[in-house]
Amino acid sequence: MRVVVTGGAGFIGANLVRALLARPEVDQVRVVDNLSTGQKANLADTGAVLHEGSILDPELLDEAFTGADAVVHLAALPSVPRSVTDPLASHHANATGTLEVLEAARRAGGLYVAAASSSSVYGANRELPKRETMRTAPMSPYAVSKLATEAYLAAYHHCYGLGVLPLRFFNVFGPLQPAGHAYAAVVPAFLDAALAGRPLTVHGDGGQSRDFTFVGTVTQVITDAVLRRVVSADPVNLAFGTRTSLLELVGELESVLGHPVEVAHTEPRPGDVRDSQADNARLRELFPDVRPVPLREGLERTTAWFRTL
């Protein structure tokens, strides 16, 4: 089996490349990445074939998709705050980019496409846990672009018969996740600050909660989806129903690190959702054998990786 991973040089993508290549059924993994947020170093010693360039380039996609069996579409311009600053860039990369990927999959003979969406699509809908059948209420341009991703996958399934699987990611964290930039996710941002002896910046009161999901759990699910060709035109939450506040996350990190950390509170960020927790019934139905990595173990493994930097 030959699998294409768009955004494969990024944090989740590079972890997925390793998970796929560890399976005997996978002969080759090709990566499409413009390295805007990913890094070549993330693919070192994997044996993956890198097609460097944008998913907005149809010729590059045709080259990468020829002879492939499946596509995992992870390429995106991440971050809610980044989308608030530059909504057009988010739209082009995430919505138009998904359309280009689906068109290339169709030209290549109708490839299977699993793609990353986001829990941010639930937005202002405050009901918990988040069920896939709930009303979506995006609060940021990023969330809108991810909702467009889901809608395009469903449309290509119904119009052209593509096997698709839109997966709603919930606060994925783990090794290879970058820190030290304005749009860093909370776990790497906290670890980067804590290991450097700086205060941890908490936007708002710290009571906001998230369903943190270790990247190894995410790659388990996606690898299984590709190998079994799991198809669903309807979106699927990729999280397991945990709920951890940012202040509870700080406490867990203090336990993992073995010392207290300083916290500095700042103003809440526009577009941020207050609480997030997945209903995982649909995920469990489709992937009954997946065993999620607990938060504490995930934080220990992530901290160990950060200490190697």
HSE-CB at 211 with a 13 A cutoff on CA atoms is: 25
Give the pLDDT of residue 161.
98
Domain containing residue 37: CATH number: 3.40.50.720
- 302 inside domain: no
Partners of residue 6 on adjacent β-strands: 32, 73
Q: Give DSSP secondary structure letters for 77-112.
A: ---HHHHHH-HHHHIIIIIIHHHHHHHHHHHTT--E
Q: How far apart are CA 34 and CA 84, in angstroms?
A: 22
Q: How far apart are CA 298 and CA 46, in angstroms?
A: 22
Question: Per the structure block, which two tokens stand in for 155?
Answer: 């449309």
Helix (H, G, I), strand (E, B) or coil at 185: coil
- 204 inside domain: no
Partners of residue 51 on adjacent β-strands: 32
Domain of residue 80 covers 2-174+213-241+278-293
Mean pLDDT by 10 residues, the chain (309 residues): 98 98 98 96 97 98 98 95 95 98 98 97 95 96 97 98 98 93 87 96 95 98 98 98 97 97 94 92 97 97 95
- 157 inside domain: yes
- 301 inside domain: no
Cα 282 to its chain centre, rounded Å, is: 18
Which residue from 207, 297, 205, 202 is spatially nearest to 252, judged by alpha carbons? 297
Question: Per the structure block, which two tokens stand in for 126?
Answer: 């405050």
Across the chain, the runs of DSSP E, i.e. the strands, are: 2-6, 28-33, 49-52, 70-73, 112-118, 164-169, 172-173, 200-203, 209-210, 213-214, 236-238, 244-245, 263-266
Q: Does the N-terminal peptide bond of residue 81 adopt cis geometry, omega within 30 degrees of 0?
A: no
Give the pLDDT of residue 269.
87
Give the pLDDT of residue 304.
97
- 30 inside domain: yes
Sign of CA dihedral 215, 217, 222, 224: positive
- 194 inside domain: no
- 207 inside domain: no
- 255 inside domain: no
Q: What angle do CA 172, 232, 6 make, to 5 degrees?
A: 50
Which residue from 179, 222, 191 is spatially nearest to 298, judged by alpha carbons? 191
Tell me the pTM: 0.96
How many domains does one find in the chain? 1
**Strand 70-73's sheet: what is its strand order?**
49-52, 28-33, 2-6, 70-73, 112-118, 164-169, 236-238
Give the pLDDT of residue 84.
94
Pairing of strands 213-214, 172-173: parallel
